[in-house]
Amino acid sequence: MSRPWNFSAGPSTLPKPVLEQAASEMLDWHGTGISVMEMSHRSRHFCQIRDEAEADLRELLALPDDYAVLFTTGGATTENAVIPMNLMRRHKELAIDFILTGYWSIRSFKEASRYGNVKVAASGGYSIRLDGAEQQPWTWTPPVQTWSVRQNASYLHMCSNETVDGVEITEWPVSLPRLKVKIPLVVDASSNFLSRPLPITNTGITFASAQKNAGAAGLTIVLVHRDLLGYSGINCPSSLNYTNIAKFRSCYNTPPAYSIYISGLVFKWIKNNGALENMEKQNRLKSNWLYSYIDSTEFYSNSVHHASRSRTNIPFRLYRKALHEPFIRGAKEARLIQLEGHRSIGGIRASLYNALPLSGVSALIEYMKDFEYRYG
């Protein structure tokens, strides 16, 4: 039986060749007689898996050695606390500025407020209420020129792609406006990591949960400029201390070994399929196709401003709310799965990560046309 088209925002669809290779190596990895799950993380076999994963990732990103690659755990959510804990001794008091563009940057803002003095440098929301009550939908990203960053900010946090709201920051600042000192940019890139070439060298720290576009859950990838190492506060667990993780090449303690292996296979799959340039090309094609179809109807809608529309996560609604349930039910019957929007906002969301091919988008649009024909 063929696999369904999987539009999950995460954990999400993986490339079939990756799953096939993992399956074929499950019982016996490269003649060792054991699976990757069963080998010591100190063994030369696992070190080889880790080294290749890191080398392939560096090659894909053209990442210079000024940056450490950390394979860690806890997810992007944990990084919101781990980052301030790792930068604590760089400043008398942490002053953390934020660009708010949706659900995840708000979550990060709230978590960071437990560790430092936080301030909104720019926001794409109209009436933001941080208590989580009523909010306007997030539909745009404030242009870099309007960001008002404090002179003494310890770092500036942004989320490059809001997975829930479908809002993407396409232009990352090279240097922050109106500032003489260089303030590190910290980017949560969980859901557009590896979807296109990203200017990671503009940042102090870029981090991503693997289970969106880069592998399986359990692994968090952190790319940190080495200048930022060595400032962790006393409250930082040593297993989450970037300096330790970097020094022990992600094996200070047991890393999420199997997830590192899966991501390593994903990196090779991307390399074999035209690298990030081709991922970008495909993702542009797929998302343009779906957006143009949505815009052409009076049946479906996406309210995000064109320039801020995400290429990986596309939320949309039916104008007639009562048709939501039948839409989702019919989609499942047509083997188009996990299209439900995030529980915080509802609606529909199609995530078009690297492993979801053009033919999957075509199947979705065919279904949407047919549904409109039947109910419109």
Ligand X SMILES: *Cc1c(COP(=O)(O)O)cnc(C)c1O
Active-site residues, by number, are: 104, 188, 212
Among positions 197-216, residues that touch ligand X (CB under 6 A) are 209, 212
Instruction: Output the smallest distance, CB 30 to ligand X, in A.
Output: 29
Among residues 40, 25, 3, the alpha carbon closest in space to that of 262 is found at 25
Q: Residue 369: which H helix or E strand, with range?
A: helix 358-375
Among residues 257, 266, 270, the alpha carbon closest in space to that of 218 is found at 257
Instruction: Output the smallest distance, CB 162 to ligand X, in A.
Output: 7
Among positions 157-196, residues that touch ligand X (CB under 6 A) are 159, 163, 188, 190-191
Question: Which residue is closest to ligand X by CB?
Answer: 75
Nearer Cβ to ligand X (12/367): 12
Instruction: Output the smallest distance, CB 180 to ligand X, in A.
Output: 31
> Hey, what are 197's tokens?
């070439």
Among positions 300-339, residues that touch ligand X (CB under 6 A) are none
Nearer Cβ to ligand X (105/302): 105
Nearer Cβ to ligand X (10/323): 10
Instruction: Output the smallest distance, CB 101 to ligand X, in A.
Output: 10
Which ranges in the chain belong to alpha helices (H)?
16-24, 44-61, 75-87, 103-112, 242-247, 257-272, 275-296, 324-333, 358-375
> Hey, what are 164's tokens?
């829930």
Among positions 210-249, residues that touch ligand X (CB under 6 A) are 212
Nearer Cβ to ligand X (213/241): 213
Instruction: Output the smallest distance, CB 77 to ligand X, in A.
Output: 3
Name the segment binding ligand X (CB under 6 A); options: 75-83, 128-136, 262-270, 345-353: 75-83
Cα atoms found within 13 Å of the Cα of residue 283, Cβ hemisphere only: 28
* # residues contacting ligand X (CB under 6 A): 12
Name the segment binding ligand X (CB under 6 A); options: 74-82, 194-202, 235-243, 367-375: 74-82
Establish if 351 lies at the interface with ligand X (CB under 6 A): no
Nearer Cβ to ligand X (29/71): 71
Between the alpha carbon of residue 336 and those of residues 6, 328, 342, 359, the distances in Å are 6, 9, 17, 12
DSSP lists the bridge partners of residue 155 as: 96
Instruction: Output the smallest distance, CB 65 to ligand X, in A.
Output: 27
**Residue 244 one-letter amino acid:** N
DSSP lists the bridge partners of residue 96 as: 118, 155
Between the alpha carbon of residue 283 and those of residues 128, 166, 222, 355, the distances in Å are 31, 14, 23, 10
> Hey, what are 331's tokens?
């989609």
Among positions 2-21, residues that touch ligand X (CB under 6 A) are 10
Nearer Cβ to ligand X (155/300): 155
Phi, psi of 66 (to 5 degrees): -60, -20
Nearer Cβ to ligand X (118/323): 118
Residues in contact with 300: Cβ distance below 8 Å, sequence separation at least 6, in sequence order = 293, 294, 316, 317, 318, 319, 368, 372
Instruction: Output the smallest distance, CB 79 to ligand X, in A.
Output: 8
Q: Report how far residue 83's alpha carbon sits from residue 114's, in angstroms, rounded to the nearest whole number.
A: 12
**Other CB atoms within 10 A of residue 239 CB:** 14
Query: Which member of 76, 83, 95, 153 binds ligand X (CB under 6 A)?
Result: 76
Q: Residue 29: which H helix or E strand, with range?
A: none
Q: Report how far residue 189's alpha carbon sits from residue 208's, in angstroms, rounded to the nearest whole number.
A: 5
Query: Which member of 15, 75, 116, 347 binds ligand X (CB under 6 A)?
Result: 75
**Residue 204 one-letter amino acid:** G
Among positions 101-130, residues that touch ligand X (CB under 6 A) are 104
Among residues 223, 205, 159, 154, the alpha carbon closest in space to that of 183 is found at 154
Among positions 265-294, residues that touch ligand X (CB under 6 A) are none
Residues that bind ligand X (CB under 6 A): 10, 75-77, 104, 159, 163, 188, 190-191, 209, 212
